[in-house]
Amino acid sequence: MLLAPLALSFMQVASAAPAAPLPDLTLEQSGALRCSVVFGLVHKAQRAGEDGAAGYPVMAERGQEFFVRTTARLMDELGADRRTIMGLVMREHTALAETPEQLDEVMPACLMLLDAAGL
């Protein structure tokens, strides 16, 4: 998974110190973060050969670039470090894992966001 090295570097930083409270996000920030995580989950499912993920565009490069841009933007806008950003990513991942049907619900809007980003 192409997102794995980036996520691993975030996880190493995140595990190095106790977590601080996570910042509140604007609607735009929250949506971009959710889509970043969704793209990673779809990419993982595509690599695993899951039927449901095959109906979506390949997420390897485009999804990774969206994730990188989104997390970098969040770091700048929030003045946050990698540990905080990884906490936000993990929080979103956990929320999506609890309701996996949300992937199919949010993917159309996320694909529009991906296209709007020029990716």
Tell me the backbone φ, ψ of residue 111, rounded to 5 degrees.
-65, -35
Residue 104 banded pLDDT, cuts 50, 70, 90: confident
The answer to whether 75 touches 89, Cβ cutoff 8 Å, is no
What pLDDT does residue 12 have? 47
Buried b (16+ CB within 10 A) or exposed e, 25-61: beeebebbbbbbbbbbbbbbbbeeeeeebeebeebee
pLDDT of residue 51: 84
For residue 19, what pLDDT is reported? 58
Higher pLDDT, 3 or 53: 53
**CA atoms of 9 and 83, how far apart (whole Å):** 10
- Which pLDDT does position 7 carry in this prediction? 52
Q: Indicate whether 21 pLDDT > 90.
A: no
Q: What is the pTM of this model?
A: 0.80
Q: For residues 70-90, give the mean pLDDT.
A: 94
Q: Enumerate the domain spans of the chain.
A: 26-116
Of 39, 27, 18, 17, the residue nearest 89 (C-alpha): 39
Only one residue has tokens 């980036």, namely 6
pLDDT mean across residues, the chain: 84
